[in-house]
Structure formats: C-alpha cells, structure tokens
Amino acid sequence: MKDFIANIYELGGLCYFGDFSKYMYKADLYGEVTLLTILIPLVVFFIYYKPLDHIRLAKTGIWATLLLAVSLITSMAAEHLAEAGIEDYLVQHQIQRTTISTVDSFWFSIIVFLYAAILSFVFSIVFKVGSSRSRRIPF
C-alpha cells in the first residue's frame, strides 16, 4: 500500500524528486499526507453542504473560492508536514548530506493541491445530493 500511495504522489515516477521522495518514503509520510488530502476537503465540504446549507452560501463563486481555499490549505499543510517529517527523519538517523531543495517540496505541494481540488470536486458532487438549498452548486 505504501508503494501505491507513493506512486500516486510521484505521478507514476514522472515526478520523482530524488532525496525528497526517498526520505518521504522512508519516513512513511505519504500516508499522513493522504489522510490530510482526504480529510480536510471531506470535512469542509460536508459542513458546507449539510450544516451550512443556506441560500446565501449557495453561489458558484463562494463554492469556487472555498474549493481553492481548501486546496491551498491542504497543500500548505502537506508541505509543512513533509518538510518537518523529513527533517525529523534526517535528525533521528543522523543523515547530514542530502540534495533536498525547496523546489522539490514546492512541486510536491502543487501535486497535493491538484489532488485536493479533485477530491473537493468529487465530495461536492456526492454531498450536493442530500442538500436542499445548495443542490445546484457547483452546477
């Protein structure tokens, strides 16, 4: 399962970032990032479509802003989790020489942003079925 999740975030090897990906895998951080990527959009869009089901919030512009904000927050949280987790792993195993750059974590956060946006859209489609006022959002 660990390999499957790593392949998802590395886009099947197209976005393998060298030491960054290697230490993400060794520190087993892909699973935690996956939980963040699923849970944050799930909770936010559940709240949007169920408890906050109000006519003032049932607008495509608000929904799109929420989707972008949730995706951005998820990608920033995943990037922070990855950087902190890799740093802890390197300190714990006394590894000093690595070629991890900030560009690697930036591209990783872009990938997480895209996955979070896709999941947010899917959760919107699922939750809008039971919504009374927001059932026409996003379309």
pLDDT digits (tens, 9 = 90+) for 25-78: 888 899 999 999 999 999 998 888 887 767 777 778 888 999 999 999 999 999
Q: Give residue 13's pLDDT.
A: 77
pLDDT mean across residues, the chain: 86
Written as six digits, the tokens of 108 are 């990783």
Q: Give residue 14's pLDDT.
A: 84
Long-range contacts, stretch 94-97, CB < 8 angstroms, 24+ apart: none
Residue 119 has pLDDT above 70, yes or no: yes
Residue 133 has pLDDT above 80, yes or no: no
Confidence of residue 134 (pLDDT cuts 50, 70, 90): low
Written as six digits, the tokens of 111 are 């990938």
Phi and psi at residue 41, to the nearest 5°: -65, -35
CB 81 within 8 A of CB 33: yes
Written as six digits, the tokens of 81 are 């989790």
